[in-house]
Amino acid sequence: MITPALPSSRPTRVRHTKADDETDIKARNKVETSATAVSRDESTTAWALAAGGGDADATDRFVRSLHRDVVRYVAHLSADPQAADDLAQDTFLRALGSLHRFEGRSSARAWLLSIARRAVIDSHRYAAARPRLCDTDDWTLVAERAQPTGLPGFDDGIALLDLLDALPDERREAFVLTQMVGLPYAEAAEMSDCPVGTVRSRVARARATLVGLLAEAEASVTDDVPALAEAPVAAPAVAPVVALAEPAVVAA
């Protein structure tokens, strides 16, 4: 009688490569980042609710925690860094006047950024309706040229604004909200009044466009750099030899 061979009871060893380690680290970092963002949103929402009840300390914490996000958002959405501070101030003035109506159905950050969005739209409408006072075709470009350009990060900031300005409005907003401000896709979709899948599609298309624009910019910079020709080495100059006259001999 032939007894069938039984499977080995020894556990199968699973190879663990360096790539697996890197994937695990990335996944863990993503989870930690998500958890940090959720914790932060919970804190700012709690401060907003307390501020709506008249807590002055909570109001200060609410403003300080979200001021940077608002400035960054309005700067990129309006494509005008010079107006970012004014738009942020307008946003917080509107928000502080409406805090008593905030019920916490969404995060305070999403609620505040929706107010910032309306502030930017109102600013564009006001600028479009305002009578033109100068003959310059692009007065914003003239204003930018008049600003000091030696500040750290100035050139990079202008370059980023130029790239974002090339995107359609809906894609730029989706990209800024999710990739730069860090808003979850669900809240960005709620702000934009569209499905989450639409926001993801807009972000993916915006990223593809930006990658293409960056590649074009790098290629143009490479093309503009002239090839360095080897300059002929000149022979060292030889100083002329001046003949010295022999001293005159004085007769005794």
Query: Is there a single domain that holds both residue 106 and residue 176?
Result: no
Query: Is there a single domain that holds both residue 173 and residue 211?
Result: yes
Query: Is there a single domain that holds both residue 122 and residue 30?
Result: yes
Number of domains comprising the chain:
2
Query: Is there a single domain that holds both residue 159 and residue 114?
Result: no
Nearest one of 182, 146, 178, 140 to 161, comparing CA atoms: 140
Taking only the tens place, the pLDDT of each residue in 184-206 is: 899 889 888 899 999 999 999 99
Neighbours of 111 (CB within 10 A): 23
Inside any domain, residue 162: yes
Query: Is there a single domain that holds both residue 119 and residue 183?
Result: no
Inside any domain, residue 137: no
Q: pTM (2 decimals)?
A: 0.56
Tens digit of each residue's pLDDT, the chain (252 residues)? 555 555 555 555 556 566 555 555 554 544 444 555 667 889 999 999 999 999 999 999 999 999 999 998 998 887 777 888 999 999 999 999 999 999 998 899 999 999 998 998 888 777 666 555 444 444 444 444 434 434 334 344 456 667 787 888 899 889 988 888 888 899 889 888 899 999 999 999 999 998 888 888 777 766 555 554 455 555 555 545 444 445 555 454
We report the CATH number of the domain holding residue 173 as: 1.10.10.10
Length of the chain: 252
Range of the domain at 197: 154-221
Query: Is there a single domain that holds both residue 106 and residue 175?
Result: no
- DSSP string computed for 107-159: -HHHHHHHHHHHHHHHHHHHHHHSPP----TTHHHHHHHHS---STTHHHHHH
For residue 48, give every residue at least 6 positions away whose Cβ sits within 8 Å of its Cβ, in sequence order, or none: 58, 62, 99, 102, 104, 108, 111, 112
Query: Is there a single domain that holds both residue 215 and residue 171?
Result: yes
Query: Is there a single domain that holds both residue 89 and residue 180?
Result: no
Query: Is there a single domain that holds both residue 34 and residue 118?
Result: yes
**What totals of helices (H) and strands (E) does the chain contain, helices first?**
9, 0
Taking only the tens place, the pLDDT of each residue in 24-60 is: 555 454 444 455 566 788 999 999 999 999 999 999 9
In the structure encoding, which two tokens stand for residue 102, read together?
């905030």
Q: Which amino acid is at 125?
A: R
Query: Is there a single domain that holds both residue 93 and residue 163?
Result: no
Nearest-angstrom CA–CA distance, 129 and 11: 75
Cα separation of the two ends of the chain: 144
Cβ atoms of 112 and 59 closer than 8 Å: no
Q: CA torsion angle for 36, 40, 41, 45 (degrees, to 10)?
A: 160
Cβ atoms of 210 and 165 closer than 8 Å: no
